[in-house]
Amino acid sequence: MKWLLFAFFSGFSLGVSAQSEVFFNLPQAVKTTSGWGPQELILIQTGQLNELQYRETGNNNRVRVQQQGTQNRLDLDLSGNDNQYSIAQQGTQNRFQWGAVQQDGGLLEVLQRGNNNQLIREGNATAAGVPMRIEQTGGSQLSIRNGF
């Protein structure tokens, strides 16, 4: 009987699939503040091994993230009010890192199409009230540094 069960289970191949990963952190202080305005995060992920790290404080922020493909990484740290961000990664191994942004009324639209695009923002906030639209196609690398 033992051999029969072994033969039965060893005859089937168990498929292994990689899943996408999402990390969302809303600080406790923000959760309990009575003046906390409506927040919106829309996340659409298709493919495998896509990763999102999202940190936010503030009021009335609207963020839309779309990751299609495999091994795309997105790291967004947003602090402020009334910001609207739309970020799309379509392809493989695209990287987006927008760290420690303190901004009100920001408007950002990013499209990374193709493979191996990289966009990294470092330093102080970008110019207040200036909308930004960035498009990258296939192997583009962009680094934005403010306040250095």
Instruction: Give 64-110 pLDDT, tens digit per residue.
Output: 999 999 999 999 998 889 999 999 999 999 999 998 778 889 999 99
| Mean pLDDT value across the chain | 80
- Residue 51 φ then ψ, to 5°: -130, 135
pLDDT tens profile 116-146: 999 999 876 666 667 899 999 999 999 988 7
pTM: 0.74
Task: Calculate mean pLDDT across residues 49-59.
Answer: 92
Of residues 27, 58, 30, 54, the one with CA closest to residue 42: 54
| Number of neighbours of residue 74 by Cβ within 10 angstroms | 26
In the prediction, which pLDDT does 34 show?
Answer: 44
Distance CA 60, CA 67 (A): 23
pLDDT tens profile 5-19: 444 444 444 444 455
Task: Calculate mean pLDDT across residues 20-33.
Answer: 52
